[in-house]
Structure 1
Amino acid sequence: MRRMSHSASALGRLGLTVVAALDALCYPLILVGASSAPHLTFAALRALVAGAVLAGVAIRLGRPIPREPRTWAYLALIGIGTISFGYLGMFRGAEFVSPGMATTITHVQPFIAALLAYPLLAERPTSHQVIGLMLGFVGVLVVAIPPWMGGRSSDFSLGFLYLVIAAIGVATGNVLTRKVAGNVDPIVATSAQCLFGFLPLSATAVVVEDPLAVVWSYSFVGSLLGLALVGTALARCLWFALLSRVPLHEGNAFTFLTPFIALGYGALFFGEDIETSTFLGLGVAALGILFVESDSARQRK
């Protein structure tokens, strides 16, 4: 991988922080629109709008289209992992778990991705980076365990299961994204994965839901456009571009920032309480980010 200059690495860190902030918007926006549409239909519409808009942008800008069948196969797998399984777990899990907590649980995915990255990418994190990822994972557990042990454990357990499915799908998609990043235009790649991911979601929605039951209110349209254009199109394009410049474990370490931001959104917009365990767990996760980033900075010197 090409070594980044000091200014370029600072710009990369800023970009990764922006991705975390955009990602954190997703669960609050899902909560706003969830009462107006069946869950899988909502998820499929999000993928379709994002993919279609990006396809139009790619055509308008004349972006290069991949020629190799293998590249298209990877983009299809990324779409199924990140979009189909990721959105299935995300939209269903948000029904049972608060927005801030849902984002926290889903972001065990950096730890899962680290386990997959070595055999699939030959990216072996150093001992400091492993410690950092483990600290991030422990921080997530500190936040997630108290409500699981509380009185709403049955709903929380079901939501947790859906969110783990989302985490596994996103982790797999991120590993494959790192594999093809740099070889495909980010706009084309993001459009393709959204449209590939839309197909299983829409097919499942037709079977198990009534897609015509959508209530096209202003709040639903606003949440759909926010999810599709900001939380998907913009965030995924930026993420795809960044993964062509940084190792997966370094990029994924910054996703541990998302729960900080998401819980702040939850407190600000939904009146969610922030418990002492939340500060403790997110502090541990922040320490994990510092471990990963400081070791990566030493390697760049």
Structure 2
Amino acid sequence: MALWSICYPLIRLSLPYAPIMLTAFLRSVIAGITLLCIARLLNRPVPKGIKEYGYIIAIGITATSIGFWGMFYAGSLITPGLATVITNTQPLIAGILGWFFLKERIGKLALFGTILGFTGVIIISVESFLTVGSQPVSGILFVLIAALGIAISNVLLKKMANSINILYAMGFQLLLGSIPLGLITVFQVPLLPFSFNWDYTWILLALALPGTALPFILWFWLMDKAPLYKLNIYSFLTPVFGLYFGLVYFSESLSLVQWLGILMIIGTIPLVILSSRNRIV
């Protein structure tokens, strides 16, 4: 979650250099190619079955194409606070999908912890999205679609965990998922002369490697180690780390309300991890 959180300040730093969707496209391509090259160098087994590639394509569309498109594009339409709240409906959506498709029965304590964590995200973000009186419906819809796409991809990742080589799975899904992002960039952004810039290059590499490739690998690996609802509770830490990076690197200040939200989120994690085997049926 900390690695994913560094993407928010990096995306902000990239804005003066390139259109946001171009950055999303290049981020996916660089991360995907890097993982595929590593898999090749390590002589990992290449996925061969139609079912395996079906999962990879579905994850690429939901996690990378829809997820990146919704979050990146909506960032220019609605406030960061509201975007954060809607994005963090993903664990709730994934919990519902996991209930039906993975047969994961979340316990009462874990359910309470998940709701409490989402409440903490709302508290963290309330000051931000209340500063703007009107939020475009289209921006809200884009973020909601992104959250749904990520939730679906998490369920798919859980179903295919430990059945496909992790490097090829994540590399192919990032590369295939980048294709729609590239098409959006071509049709929406006027083609400009290429101008090399070291600052933008380092930002892009940081977004692609520690901000995308590494956390995707870790997340896929974790899918085989624990139920989805227990892993997803950590998603609520993303805005917490985001606030920390904003505090350290952008001299942003935290209000008492935001500190309250942070404490609520941190307190939910042991509730979910230590939840009893009593399941809601």
- 2:95 paired residue number: 114
Assess if the C-alpha contact under 8 Å between 2:82 and 2:126 holds in 1. no
What is the one-letter code of the residue matched to 1:230?
Answer: P
Does residue 248 of structure 1 match 2:228?
yes
Residue 228 (structure 1) shift: 0.6
Q: TM-score, length-normalised on structure 1?
A: 0.85
Assess if the C-alpha contact under 8 Å between 2:14 and 2:200 holds in 1. yes
- How many angstroms apart in 2 are the aligned matches of 1:195 and 1:264? 31
Does residue 91 of structure 1 match 2:72?
yes
Assess if the C-alpha contact under 8 Å between 2:80 and 2:128 holds in 1. no
Assess if the C-alpha contact under 8 Å between 2:107 and 2:278 holds in 1. no
- How many angstroms apart in 2 are the aligned matches of 1:35 and 1:85? 24
Structure 2: which 5+ residue stretches go unaligned? none
Matches within 5 A, 1:126-275: 126-150=107-131, 152-154=132-134, 160-212=140-192, 215-275=195-255
- 1:77 paired residue number: 58
Assess if the C-alpha contact under 8 Å between 2:81 and 2:126 holds in 1. no
Q: Deviation digits for residues 188-232 of structure 1, max 9, x if unmatched?
A: 111011011111111121111135466532221111101111111
Residue 160 (structure 1) shift: 4.6
Residue 134 (structure 1) shift: 0.8
Assess if the C-alpha contact under 8 Å between 1:27 and 1:99 holds in 2. no
Q: 1:270 to 1:281 in 2, by over 3 A?
A: same
Q: 1:104 to 1:235 in 2, by over 3 A?
A: farther
SS in 2 for 1:146: helix
Residue 155 (structure 1) shift: 5.5
- 1:3 paired residue number: none
Q: Deviation digits for residues 89-132 of structure 1, max 9, x if unmatched?
A: 22223335677875565233111111111112111211111111
Q: TM-score, length-normalised on structure 2?
A: 0.91
What is the one-letter code of the residue matched to 2:64?
Answer: I
- How many angstroms apart in 2 are the aligned matches of 1:296 and 1:219? 49
What is the one-letter code of the residue matched to 2:204?
Answer: L
Assess if the C-alpha contact under 8 Å between 1:23 and 1:258 holds in 2. yes
- 1:51 paired residue number: 32
- 2:274 paired residue number: 294
The two structures, once aligned, show a CA RMSD in angstroms of 2.3
Structure 1: which 5+ residue stretches go unaligned? 1-19
SS in 1 for 2:236: helix
Assess if the C-alpha contact under 8 Å between 1:139 and 1:280 holds in 2. yes
SS in 1 for 2:15: helix
- How many angstroms apart in 2 are the aligned matches of 1:56 and 1:186? 13
SS in 2 for 1:132: helix
Does residue 280 of structure 1 match 2:281?
no
SS in 2 for 1:73: helix
Q: 1:193 to 1:163 in 2, by over 3 A?
A: same
Assess if the C-alpha contact under 8 Å between 1:50 and 1:232 holds in 2. yes
- How many angstroms apart in 2 are the aligned matches of 1:114 and 1:211? 42
- How many angstroms apart in 1 are the aligned matches of 2:140 and 2:257? 18
Residue 147 (structure 1) shift: 2.4
Residue 164 (structure 1) shift: 2.8
**Among 41, 57, 77, which residue is 2:22 paired with?**
41
What is the one-letter code of the residue matched to 2:252?
Answer: E
Residue 32 (structure 1) shift: 0.8
Higher deviation after alignment, 185-194 or 31-40: 31-40
Q: Deviation digits for residues 172-203 of structure 1, max 9, x if unmatched?
A: 11111111011111111110110111111111
Assess if the C-alpha contact under 8 Å between 1:32 and 1:219 holds in 2. no
- How many angstroms apart in 2 are the aligned matches of 1:113 and 1:215? 41
- How many angstroms apart in 2 are the aligned matches of 1:81 and 1:224? 22
Alignment size in residue pairs: 279
